[in-house]
Amino acid sequence: LNTHFIFSKTLKFKHKMGLVRSLCLLITFLNCLIISVHGQATARPGPVSGTRIGFYLTTCPRAETIVRNAVNAGFSSDPRIAPGILRMHFHDCFVQGCDGSILISGANTERTAGPNLNLQGFEVIDNAKTQLEAACPGVVSCADILALAARDTVILTQGTGWQVPTGRRDGRVSLASNANNLPGPRDSVAVQQQKFSALGLNTRDLVVLVGGHTIGTAGCGVFRNRLFNTTGQTADPTIDPTFLAQLQTQCPQNGDGSVRVDLDTGSGSTWDTSYYNNLSRGRGVLQSDQVLWTDPATRPIVQQLMAPRSTFNVEFARSMVRMSNIGVVTGANGEIRRVCSAVNQLTDQNLS
């Protein structure tokens, strides 16, 4: 009897363990099943990021729709907001992390720093915030609005979307001096690698994320040093001669430095891989872009991303999720701003 009882208990235990193993396998399978959802490239944040997909599912179910509609409306009025908002998100994350500090206005804030003076789309973020405060007061952060809007601008320019982890809170500090170390248009690959590495991004992330230059423009004053009298020569020798003549016409030596030129010649408003193809032909507008082709550390990555079966869209989504989790403020830290252009304390003072 005792032997039969022990045998019976053993069978029951093994049966339970088998069910547990099956359940674990199912959970693992579901966690891995994130390759593609409704045509979107899908990437998940790291386990310590503090953000997650669907953060507002119960507290503000229409949050992403409200942001998307605001971006769509802004884009319909002025397509230039697409590269503006995308760049805004980059510049926000590279300074103190993705905390929406770039959105704060006022003297000596990040918005007043040189690299941020020509950014467009702040009014789109403000519009989305106004609508979200009406629908879900004090719930959705400005940092999350910016991360979502950046994704939506890629979609509007014919790129592939991705699921954006949310749950960021807003920072309270915004100083122009903190923007001094943003990646610059004259940076070498080594300098760019150092700046990206300092934030936990690798060389592949660097080449993929800079691919965001497939949309947008640069002022002549930013790159004119490449066109005339550089390093004792008439021009930067890495520039294609035909393209050089074109740029010199668009940006005369003593001309208006604010004149804008497409960063991706021939396809400046469409999300594609022609940016990388242009680099291979000596048609990179910025020095920091063209060196991605001339430097052996990054050229193989450019070649892969410009290939016919390029994985650029999938990789961009993955790197964007990684970047958007840099230094995020979550939990009890930070705040949820009432308006994106001012910290709550200042807003309260203005209302009193």
Whether residue 192 contacts residue 90, with contact meaning beta carbons closer than 8 Å, is answered with no
Give the pLDDT of residue 40.
55
Locus of tokens 């005339």: 228
- Residues assigned a catalytic role: 91
Hey, what are 263's tokens? 């960063």
Whether residue 217 contacts residue 119, with contact meaning beta carbons closer than 8 Å, is answered with no
Using CA atoms, how far apart are residues 97 and 83, in angstroms rounded to an integer? 20
Locus of tokens 């979550």: 330
Give the pLDDT of residue 13.
43
Give the pLDDT of residue 24.
42
Give the pLDDT of residue 229.
72
**Going residue by residue through the chain (352 aa), what tens digit of pLDDT does each one get?**
444 444 444 444 444 445 545 544 444 444 433 333 334 554 444 444 589 999 999 999 999 999 999 999 999 999 999 999 999 999 999 999 999 999 999 999 999 999 999 999 999 999 999 999 999 999 999 999 999 999 999 999 999 999 999 999 999 999 999 998 899 999 999 999 999 999 999 999 999 999 999 999 999 999 999 999 756 567 999 999 999 999 999 999 999 999 999 999 999 999 999 999 999 999 999 999 999 999 999 999 999 999 999 999 999 999 999 999 999 998 888 999 999 999 997 545 444 3
Reported as type and span, the H/E element at residue 8 is helix 2-32
pTM confidence score: 0.85
Using CA atoms, how far apart are residues 191 and 200, in angstroms rounded to an integer? 15
Whether residue 171 contacts residue 70, with contact meaning beta carbons closer than 8 Å, is answered with no
- What single string gives the DSSP state of each residue in 177-222? GGGGGS--TT--HHHHHHHHHTTT--HHHHHHHHGGGGS-EEEHHH
Give the pLDDT of residue 49.
55
CA dist list (Å): 157 to 39, 70, 108, 214: 16, 15, 32, 10
Using CA atoms, how far apart are residues 352 and 348, in angstroms rounded to an integer? 6
Q: What are 36's strand-pairing partners?
A: 41
